[in-house]
């Protein structure tokens, strides 16, 4: 069972960021990022919680957190720029915990933030995107080449069309899983999403 502890870490620019950390034995860890802050996204989101549980049950320590300006995290929404600094702070927190093999799991806006960081550096050994909003936000496909390992998307997602996500998976050489009868929000589909994730993570 997932047992998380409330924690606080500093973003790379010093802002205090609040998160939830769950410790598992070993050197593997995952950081999970949430959907758009201006659309109500936070670390308590159903998909973020599902992803966190899937990682934890697969043996990873997990860290989910609220981007700046969300909940008790300091600062204000920064159009993806400051949010990358929050993500770097999360990465540093996990390294300080002795984690060496760190995966990133991004949902929606959270996937976009990971993609922007990947255009600058490659800090993760594997990356998973759930419903990257390719129809809403601008992704740098060149920067994603060979940097995404798994993409999951529903076939009824207005922000992540099947054709667009197929192009993303082809250009990034990522494995693609399309969930039938599923939209962007995964309500009622959480257990199926967890199964997809665990099937990949437990190989």
- How many other CB atoms sit within 10 Å of the CB of residue 132? 31
Q: Is the pLDDT of residue 14 over 80?
A: yes
| Rounded Cα distance, 63 and 52, in Å | 8
- Classified by CATH at the fold level, domain 5-201 comes out as Rossmann fold (3.40.50)
Looking at the DSSP bridge assignments, the partners of residue 21 are 5, 63
Going by C-alpha positions, the residue among 107, 102, 136, 138 that lies closest to residue 121 is: 102
Model confidence pTM above 0.95: yes
| Rounded Cα distance, 57 and 29, in Å | 12
Contacts of 87 by beta carbon, 8 Å cutoff, 6+ apart? 31, 33, 104, 113, 114, 117
Under DSSP, the state recorded for 100 is: -
Of the candidate ranges 66-70, 141-145, 182-186, 197-201, the one whose mean pLDDT is the lowest:
141-145
* Spans of all domains in the chain: 5-201
- 43-88 pLDDT, tens digit per residue, is 999 999 999 999 999 999 999 999 999 999 999 999 999 999 999 9
24: left (phi over 0), alpha (psi -120 to 50) or beta: beta
């Amino acid at each position: 069972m997932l047992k998380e502890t409330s924690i606080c870490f500093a973003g790379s620019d010093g802002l205090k960021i609040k998160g939830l950390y769950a410790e598992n034995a070993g050197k593997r860890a995952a950081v999970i990022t949430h959907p758009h802050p201006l659309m109500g996204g936070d670390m308590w989101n159903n998909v973020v919680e599902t992803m966190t549980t899937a990682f934890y049950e697969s043996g990873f320590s997990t860290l989910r957190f609220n981007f700046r300006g969300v909940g008790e995290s300091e600062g204000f929404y920064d159009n993806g720029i400051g949010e990358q600094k929050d993500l770097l702070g999360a990465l540093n927190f996990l390294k300080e915990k002795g984690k060496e093999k760190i995966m990133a799991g991004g949902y929606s806006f959270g996937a976009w933030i990971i993609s922007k960081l990947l255009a600058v550096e490659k800090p993760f050994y594997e990356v998973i995107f759930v419903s990257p909003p390719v129809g809403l936000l601008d992704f740098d496909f060149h920067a994603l080449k060979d940097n995404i390992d798994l993409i999951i998307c529903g076939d009824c997602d207005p922000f992540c069309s099947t054709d667009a996500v197929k192009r993303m998976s082809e250009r990034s050489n990522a494995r693609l899983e399309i969930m039938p009868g599923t939209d962007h929000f995964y309500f009622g589909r959480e257990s199926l999403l967890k199964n997809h994730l665990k099937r990949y993570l437990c190989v």
